[in-house]
Amino acid sequence: EVQLVESGGGLVQPGRSLRLSCAASGFTFDDYAMHWVRQAPGKGLEWVSGISWNSGSIGYADSVKGRFTISRDNAKNSLYLQMNSLRAEDTALYYCAKSSAYSISAEEDYWGQGTLVTVSS
Amino acid sequence: QAGLTQPPSVSKGLRQTATLTCTGNSNNVGNQGAAWLQQHQGHPPKLLSYRNNNRPSGISERLSASRSGNTASLTITGLQPEDEADYYCSAWDSSLSAQVFGGGTKLTVL
């Protein structure tokens, strides 16, 4: 059974940093690309970033480019999102999602429960 | 980044058929198609259809996806109370090198 468990969310002041983690199990982690997708309270889904199976291809939404960094550790079956210079508009539930293929252009087929990030002074 | 266009809401009666639409352009939906996701309140999204219109294992045969040009559609037949949820489409945009989502459609089953 595919399991994705996010952690690292919380309340943070504007301008500060936060690092999210996602622990994956139930599938061969290094065969698949991974994504972060967020959902602001009461709003729709927004793709944040994706990383290919071997970290060779990485993509970001314009809204986070230059501030967020995605990475993965295939030895630890883990995905990360380093978030710097956080803004109020980054407040959202952040989902870790498994891609259906090795490429970041493939759709997400499994999602975690999400970790809540609140940016407020 | 420009997203895909979905109607905000659709209402249909029990056991009726609902067709949800998702409009993009030749760089996204028209290029590789759109995936469909269902999200119930308080739960994470669930994949209903891959971009090639195939259903993942365990997804009801009452759901079918299709595409015509730059518009993708999800048809749900024999509507049940549990079909009431938010539905999102997603696609890879080759010009943006980014994934784009639709704004979501809230399906109400009357």
Best of B99, B100, B105, B106 to substitute, by most chain A Cβ atoms within 10 angstroms, is B99
Question: Taking CB atoms and an 8 Å cutoff, what residues of chain A touch B88?
Answer: 44-45
What value does the mean pLDDT take over residues B74-82? 97
Can you tell me the mean pLDDT for B36-49? 97
Residue ranges of chain B whose CB lies within 8 Å of a chain A CB:
1, 32, 35, 37, 39, 44-47, 50-51, 56, 86, 88, 90, 92, 94, 97-104
pLDDT at B3: 87
Q: Residues B61-70: what's their mean pLDDT? A: 96
Residues of A in Cβ contact (< 8 Å) with B1? 61-63
Confirm or reject contact between A111 and chain B (CB < 8 A): yes
CB atoms inside a 10 Å sphere around CB A69: 16
pLDDT band (50, 70, 90) for residue B24: very high
**Is the predicted pLDDT of residue B28 greater than 70, yes or no?**
yes
Q: For residue B2, what pLDDT is reported?
A: 65
Give the span between the Cα atoms of B77 and B80, in whole angstroms: 9
Is the per-residue pLDDT at A22 higher than 90? Answer: yes
- Chain A residues with CB under 8 Å of B51 CB are 106-107
**Average pLDDT rounded to a whole number, residues A92-102:** 97
Residue B108: how many other CB atoms lie within 10 Å: 14
What does the pLDDT average to over A114-119? 98
Q: What share of chain B is helix, strand, coil (3-state, %, to 5)?
A: 5, 45, 45
**Is the confidence at residue B1, as pLDDT, over 90?**
no
Residue A97 has pLDDT above 80, yes or no: yes
The DSSP result for chain A, as a single string, is: --EEEEE--EEE-TT--EEEEEEEESS-GGGS-EEEEEE-TTS-EEEEEEE-TTSS-EEE-TTTTTTEEEEEEGGGTEEEEEE-S--GGG-EEEEEEEESSSSTTSPEEEE---EEEEE--
Question: Average pLDDT, stretch B50-59?
Answer: 95
Segment A55-84, tens digit of pLDDT: 999 999 999 999 999 999 999 999 999 999
Best mutation target, A96, A100, A105, A107, to test chain B (most B CBs within 10 A):
A107
